[in-house]
């Protein structure tokens, strides 16, 4: 019974996390317990457990006597998250280039091919593009072999997804923006294979920060 309860809490955590970062709930929207129970077909106890974990993820806040709310978004938070992501990604790539072996190189080439091929499709599904894009960036850094850094990286990536979706809606099907993105990915692949740590770090930081100004404009219009 205990394991079943834990599984239910884990399932609701995954579902709520995905719905929040995909924009199903608006920033500062109240999360009514009764409505959530009905929507996700879950009991009160596992739901509250999931909400507590979402608070730890900074995706939900709790206000005394007023309930649970989706965390707000802001330009300051956006900038802080992306700057932290850029530095962590830079460190991960530096270590991956130092430690990565032939298997790392092969997996990176394969991930690059899958992303590049799909980016040339006539019709691009945002979910599929995001999946291949994330796989390419993960292939870049996986060679660093640091579980602790991966934890930090994954947390920042998740937090940035709420903001990144604002950029993707406007740019994933924008031919010019997508071409720039493809060129940067191609350059990152070459630099990684050539073991050029300095240039790879510089480019990945610029690449990560690219959406920030675009997202700021979107936020200012909300």
Structure letter (DSSP) for residue 26: -
pLDDT of amino acid 94: 98
Residue bearing tokens 């091929």: 117
Say how far apart CA 4 and CA 6 lie, in whole Å. 5
pLDDT of amino acid 4: 47
Q: Residue 70: beta bridge partners?
A: 60
What is the full per-residue pLDDT of the chain (222 aa) written as tens digits? 344 454 578 899 999 999 999 889 999 999 999 999 999 989 999 999 999 999 999 999 998 878 999 999 999 999 999 999 999 999 999 999 999 999 999 999 999 999 999 988 888 887 898 899 999 999 999 999 999 999 999 999 999 988 887 777 666 566 777 788 899 999 999 999 999 999 999 999 999 998 898 888 878 776
Structure tokens at 139: 């292939």
Q: Which of 134, 132, 137 minimizes the C-alpha distance to 93? A: 137
First to last CA, the chain: 45
pLDDT of amino acid 36: 94
Look at the alpha carbons of 134, 146, 184, 206 in this order and tell me if their dihedral is positive or negative. positive
- In 10 A of CB 70, how many CB atoms? 22
Structure letter (DSSP) for residue 28: T
pLDDT of amino acid 172: 59
Say how far apart CA 112 and CA 107 lie, in whole Å. 9
pLDDT of amino acid 220: 77
pLDDT of amino acid 1: 36
Can you point out the beta strands (E) in the chain? 30-31, 60-63, 67-70
CATH code of domain 75-220: 1.20.120.530
Pick the CATH number of 2-70 from 1.10.10.10, 3.40.980.10, 3.50.50.60, 3.20.20.140: 1.10.10.10
pLDDT of amino acid 3: 47
What's the pTM value of the predicted model, to 2 decimals? 0.85
Contact 145, 100 (CB under 8 A): no
Q: Which of 170, 178, 156, 166 minimizes the C-alpha distance to 215? A: 166
pLDDT of amino acid 8: 79
Q: Which residues contact 136 (CB under 8 A, 6 or more apart)?
A: 108, 111, 112, 114, 115, 185
Q: Which residues contact 168 (CB under 8 A, 6 or more apart)?
A: 126, 129, 130
Domain segments of the chain: what residues? Answer: 2-70, 75-220
Contact 37, 47 (CB under 8 A): yes
């Amino acid at each position: 019974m205990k394991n079943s309860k834990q599984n239910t809490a884990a399932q609701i955590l995954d579902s709520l996390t995905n719905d929040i970062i995909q924009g199903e709930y608006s920033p500062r929207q109240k999360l009514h317990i009764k409505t959530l129970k009905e929507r996700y077909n879950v009991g009160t106890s596992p739901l509250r457990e999931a909400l507590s974990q979402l608070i730890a993820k900074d995706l939900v806040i709790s206000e005394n006597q007023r309930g649970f709310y989706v965390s707000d978004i802001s330009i300051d938070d956006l900038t802080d998250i992306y700057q932290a992501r850029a530095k962590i990604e830079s460190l991960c790539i530096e270590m991956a280039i130092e430690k990565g072996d032939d298997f790392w190189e092969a997996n990176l080439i394969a991930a690059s091919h899958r992303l590049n091929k799909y980016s040339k499709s006539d019709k691009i599904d945002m979910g599929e593009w995001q999946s291949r894009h994330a796989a390419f960036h993960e292939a870049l850094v996986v060679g660093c072999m640091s579980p602790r850094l991966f934890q930090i990286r994954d947390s920042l990536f998740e937090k940035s997804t709420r903001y990144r979706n604002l950029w993707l809606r406007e740019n994933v099907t924008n031919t010019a923006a997508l071409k720039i993105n493809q060129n940067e990915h191609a350059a990152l692949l070459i630099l990684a294979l050539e073991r050029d740590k300095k240039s790879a770090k510089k480019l990945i930081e610029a690449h990560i920060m690219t959406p920030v100004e675009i997202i700021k404009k979107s936020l200012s219009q909300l």
